[in-house]
Amino acid sequence: MLLEITNRIVHMLPSTRCFALKRALYRLCGAKIGRNVRICSSVSILGDHPLTIGENTWIGHETLILASAPIQIGRNVNIAPRCFIGTGTHEIDSRGRAIAGRGVSLPVTIGDGSWLCTHTVMIAGSSIGEKSITAAGAIITKNVPAGELWGGVPAKFIKKVV
């Protein structure tokens, strides 16, 4: 309930201002947020599991973060507009009433210095290594090693960047 109220307050603030107030409000909800984290007002953070955001990180317009398992976002990370970071999924149940079987929540990790370009999707259990880049529209379904550029649907290795 507190997180819901916080999101509503944050959404009323100027989009790229009042960052200290936004940090304070999300900290009241239990998030661990480092110094100089800048969260745009149109970002939505939902869920009741630990969220950690390292210092000097930018979270862009209309990004959606769903934490049904821990989410760790490193220091100096740039998350472009309209990214999705989610920890929930389902087991496939071909014998059940619905193919989406039992719900599963798996953590997501984004390494220090990484850059998620616009419309990146990170699914449950995926991670991005330190100083890696996801191309615009990439769907991250596994672990991206440090220092690499990945893109596509599902995302695949493109080249080393470090």
Share of the chain above pLDDT 90, in %: 99
Q: Is the pLDDT of residue 146 over 90?
A: yes
Structural domains of the chain, ranges and CATH numbers in brackets = 2-160 (2.160.10.10)
Instruction: Give residue 111's pLDDT band: very low, low, confident or very high (50, 70, 90).
Output: very high
- Whether residue 133 contacts residue 155, with contact meaning beta carbons closer than 8 Å, is answered with no
93-107 residue pLDDT tens: 999 999 999 999 999
Strand order in the sheet with 115-116: 38-39, 58-59, 78-79, 115-116, 133-134, 148-151, 156-160
pLDDT at 69: 98
Query: How does residue 82 score in pLDDT terms, banded at 50, 70 and 90?
Result: very high
Residue 108 and residue 114 in contact, taking contact as beta carbons nearer than 8 Å? no
- Taking the C-alpha atoms of residue 99 and residue 93, their distance in angstroms, rounded to an integer, is 5
90 catalytic? Reply is yes
Sheet-wide strand order for 139-140? 44-47, 64-67, 84-86, 121-122, 139-140
Confidence of residue 120 (pLDDT cuts 50, 70, 90): very high
pLDDT of residue 1: 87
Burial class (CB in 10 A: 0-12, 13-18, 19+), 111: buried
Catalytic residue among 11, 49, 61, 90: 90
User: Do the beta carbons of residue 114 and residue 121 sit within 8 Å?
Assistant: no
Reported as a single tens digit per residue, the pLDDT across 4-59 is 999 999 999 999 999 999 999 999 999 999 999 999 999 999 999 999 999 999 99
Q: What is the distance between the alpha carbons of residues 156 and 162, in angstroms, rounded to a whole number?
A: 17
pLDDT of 115 > 90? The answer is yes
- Tokens 């149109």 label which residue? 42
**Per-residue confidence at 66, pLDDT binned at 50, 70, 90?**
very high
**For residues 114-119, average pLDDT:** 98
